[in-house]
Amino acid sequence: QAEDLLISLPDCDTFIAELTDTIIRCLHEGDADTNTVASRINMSERTLHRRLKSKGKVFRDILQEIRKSMVINYLKDPKLTLSEIALLLGYSEQSSFTRAFSTWYKCSPLQYQKRYLS
């Protein structure tokens, strides 16, 4: 999935590509906060925010786009529960995940599965 995301990035900015890859790895490890991600790419949290600002980007938005792009693949897997998907995407609670999903797709994850994935 990480490679698919990197290929789909519109600009070939290596910093953004490395950041995206690092965020994905951190999500899978369960800790994708700015401090952890910044330390993984060998910079301070403040430097990370400054570099993103210079590119007109915000960490929270990048994290959200990554989650949004990963969620559909997770919903296609019938073995995964919504709680497991929430954890894989770095949400501490299923309700937070469901709210975010509803904002993105204007329906609940279960409704999406029934409508589009069955």
- What are 52-69's pLDDT values in tens digits? 999 999 999 999 999 999
Q: Look at the chain and report how many structural domains it folds into.
A: 1
Residue 6 clears pLDDT 60, i.e. is over it: no
User: What DSSP designation does 55 have?
Assistant: T
Q: Taking the alpha carbons of 40, 42, 44, 45 in that order, is the dihedral positive or negative?
A: negative
Residue 115 clears pLDDT 90, i.e. is over it: no
Between 1 and 23, the more confident residue is 23
User: pTM of the full predicted structure?
Assistant: 0.82
- What are 12-62's pLDDT values in tens digits? 578 999 999 999 999 988 889 999 999 999 999 999 999 999 999 999 999
**CB atoms closer than 10 angstroms to residue 117:** 11
Q: What is the CATH number of the domain that holds 34?
A: 1.10.10.60
**Structural domain harbouring 7:** 2-116
**CB atoms closer than 10 angstroms to residue 114:** 11
